[in-house]
Structure 1
């Protein structure tokens, strides 16, 4: 495995996190707290692995330019420019959601989850779309 394989790997981590977030939501709606805790912990671990790989990749490779043309460019950049700030905000929101749960303050946990979970889902889905657009549908990105 080389550093250029990391986008595929971190997108797989992202997709695994997404699936566990969804399953965790289903389980908590069914009042299955232990299953919810397990799924959300796994989602958090996958998201952490994603972030580590993502940061290492871009630290090592640097900036990459989107290779798509035409209508794909404004679509890609619209997704990207909503994804990036929400991803940054979501790191803080996730921390602010997990800490009350660890302290068994489930009222605060639920209150924060109302904000963090939809953003986490959006960031995960758009991250997968960004990968597909940047690395699959329009060929490899241009490395600068």
Structure 2
């Protein structure tokens, strides 16, 4: 029992470190531009697809655990974590090679004119609500995913199930809204 408690303390330290370090690193990397590298415009549809695949797999993982297939559930959840890491790397690489895309900027000049602003109207509020909630929850879900994973790893399945009921809908929302944000901003990506 003491060995499990030691492992849990170590894991908890790493959860705190990663839950802070990942968002801070992403925020700092947003200020970095890799000189001489062409814009990697092919990445957004790839990482949107990764989000979509993650959403589907999260649902499939829940179905598997409800059927009592713990091994399949575990493999799928590890895949979801791996996909989230790949997403994060691609997302950072894209933003290190490209300026941010402005919602509604139809002429792609980086400025939202009065005419462009009028053409999107109040739809922009929906976009920004989805985008902001997606970003905030993608930061907030990090410790939930890690704690949920650690509890399963340590065999604390009752506690695992308890937090998984919170983690699942947040993670699913982040994955689905990642795809929604992509489709909403897609018309404004430079060619």
- Look up the match of 2:122: 71
CA RMSD of aligned residues (A): 1.7
Inter-partner Cα distance in structure 2 for 1:46 and 1:87: 14
- What residue in structure 1 maps to residue 41 of structure 2? 4
User: Where do 4+ consecutive residues of structure 1 move more than 3 Å?
Assistant: none
2:188 alignment partner in structure 1 = 140
- Highest CA radius of gyration, 1 or 2? 2
Cross-structure match for 1:48: 85
Match of 1:95 in 2: 146
Segment drifting more, 66-75 vs 86-95? 66-75
Residue 74 of structure 2 corresponds to residue 37 of structure 1: yes
- The number of equivalent residue pairs is 139
Matches of 1:127 and 1:67 in 2, distance apart?
A: 18
Q: 2:41 is paired with a residue of what secondary structure?
A: helix
TM-score after normalising by structure 2: 0.68
Unaligned segments of structure 2, at least 5 residues: 1-38, 106-119
SS state of the match for residue 67, structure 1? coil
Q: TM-score, normalised by structure 1?
A: 0.89
